[in-house]
Amino acid sequence: MKKKALALALAACMAASLAACSGSSSETTAAATDAETTAAETTAEETTAGEETEAEETTAEAAETEAAGGTLVMATNAEFEPWEYHDGDAIVGIDVEIAQAIGEKLGMDVEIEDMAFDSIIPAVTSGKADFGAAGMTVTEDRLQSVDFTDTYADASQVIIVKEGSDITGSADLVGKKIGVQLGTTGDLLSTDLVGDENVERYNKGFEAVQALLQDKIDAVVIDSAPAKAFVSQSEGLVILDEALSQEEYAIAVKKGNTELLDKINAALAELKEDGTIDEIINKYIPAE
């Protein structure tokens, strides 16, 4: 997709921005604790699932039946701290807790399927998963394949470089090698900025950051909150001030599954209203 189309899609999504509300925290804390417990259980059960990306057809019916019976299968890519990541055996993060809170509102369990980021939409369209939650930006392109719920957070793409780099902004990226996570909006933006031949695509943002540390590439373009997490975990990296985009995250559901879409949107509205979403986000991304 061209940059203009992405910009348009992002602009269109700005209308549905996150409602900031305050509210009681006692229920929320209980939900968050449950979320962690369930995530831990889920991961424990699925230690062999790993990065399994294929076999979508075979489990399609199972996922749909389970959803009706009380379990929602969430497709994610747990390599994106603080949105979803591994903490020991557990998969934790903002999206995990939001999904769990939605599950509680709907009286359903949430089961996590961890997979490559670019397998999430295929998992949702095939029915292997009931929804995808992965810090996923709403784009015009993705709206061709899936429906998105209302948005629940905003984000932007940023540039990570090594300290002392001569790259001080996007204008300096021309002719440089940029590392990205495959199939992300950072991938699209970078391809537009420096051309396909200068973009190195990795399955995990972590791998792109390692390549930067080893001077295999000149910069990494990735979402702002994961960028902060990566930079805080390594010496010698900095995030440039310039934001390359304005994006909004939402949950992807199978196209035409208005029943689930409406249910998730109703739950999301309540969770925004009572302050739960803000509380979960603030827990992982403390206000500066």
Positions that interact with ligand GLN (CB under 6 A):
77, 80, 117, 134-137, 181, 184-185, 223
Name the residue number minimizing CB distance to ligand GLN.
184
Six-digit token string for 114: 């961890």
CB of 263 to ligand GLN, least distance (A): 23
Contact 83, 230 (CB under 8 A): no
User: Which one, 196 or 273, has the nearer CB to ligand GLN?
Assistant: 196
CB of 29 to ligand GLN, least distance (A): 26
Contact 263, 11 (CB under 8 A): no
Distance CA 144, CA 113 (A): 23
Six-digit token string for 182: 């495959």
DSSP 8-class letter at 128 = S
Comparing CA positions, the residue from 86, 99, 89, 179 lying closest to residue 135 is 99
User: Which one, 117 or 230, has the nearer CB to ligand GLN?
Assistant: 117
CB of 30 to ligand GLN, least distance (A): 27
CB of 2 to ligand GLN, least distance (A): 16
User: Which one, 184 or 265, has the nearer CB to ligand GLN?
Assistant: 184
Q: Please, which residues have CB within 8 angstroms of residue 128's CB and are 6 or more apart in sequence?
A: 55, 56, 57, 59, 60, 63, 73, 75, 113, 122
